[in-house]
Amino acid sequence: MKLRSAAIATAATALALAVSAPVAAAAPTAPTGDDGRHHYYQGRVVAHGGLLLRDSPTRGSRVLRKEPYGAVVHIYCKTRGEHVEGNSLWYLLTDGTWAWGAAHYIDNIGPAPHFC
């Protein structure tokens, strides 16, 4: 009987911990290829003063960080946003934080990313 009581107490403790644990927001998952592996696109920052990365695809949104000129960045996908020098495409980057960069200032390395 002691073994059963101990098992019930252990299960109850595990359940209480699971219920009280904070749930983290899930980040988007990377696209997968035919081999089932995750694939990201890459680009190079071509803004001579560096590229401000933002929390949404607009120039007026909050700046999250800055990537220097020449940096290679990992791109998850693209979307349409505010026009920058006639280009409405923005890339969602996955380097450290999820942030948006104007595609006008990022040259693709390899294929262009898919739409989000």
Report pLDDT digits (tens) over 2-33: 433 433 333 333 333 333 333 333 344 444 44
Give the residue extent of every domain in the chain.
Answer: 41-109
pLDDT at 95: 82
| pLDDT tens digits along 38-70 | 468 999 999 999 999 999 999 999 999 999 999
pLDDT at 96: 80
The answer to whether 60 touches 100, Cβ cutoff 8 Å, is no
The answer to whether residue 110 scores a pLDDT higher than 70 is yes
Distances (CA, A) of 7 to 1, 20, 32, 78: 10, 20, 41, 50
Q: Rounded to an integer, what distance in angstroms lies between the CA atom of residue 97 and that of residue 23?
A: 18
pLDDT at 1: 45
Q: Enumerate long-range contacts of 31-38, CB under 8 Å, 24 or more apart.
A: 31/76, 31/77, 31/114
Reported as type and span, the H/E element at residue 100 is strand 99-102
pLDDT average, residue stretch 78-97: 95
pLDDT at 103: 98
By the 10 Å C-beta count (0-12 exposed, 13-18 middle, 19+ buried), 88 is classed as middle
Q: Rounded to an integer, what distance in angstroms lies between the CA atom of residue 67 and that of residue 107?
A: 13
Number of residues that make up the chain: 116
pLDDT average, residue stretch 66-95: 96
Quick one: 41-109 is in which CATH superfamily? SH3 Domains (2.30.30.40)
pLDDT at 39: 61
The answer to whether residue 35 scores a pLDDT higher than 50 is no
Location of structure tokens 């262009």 = 112
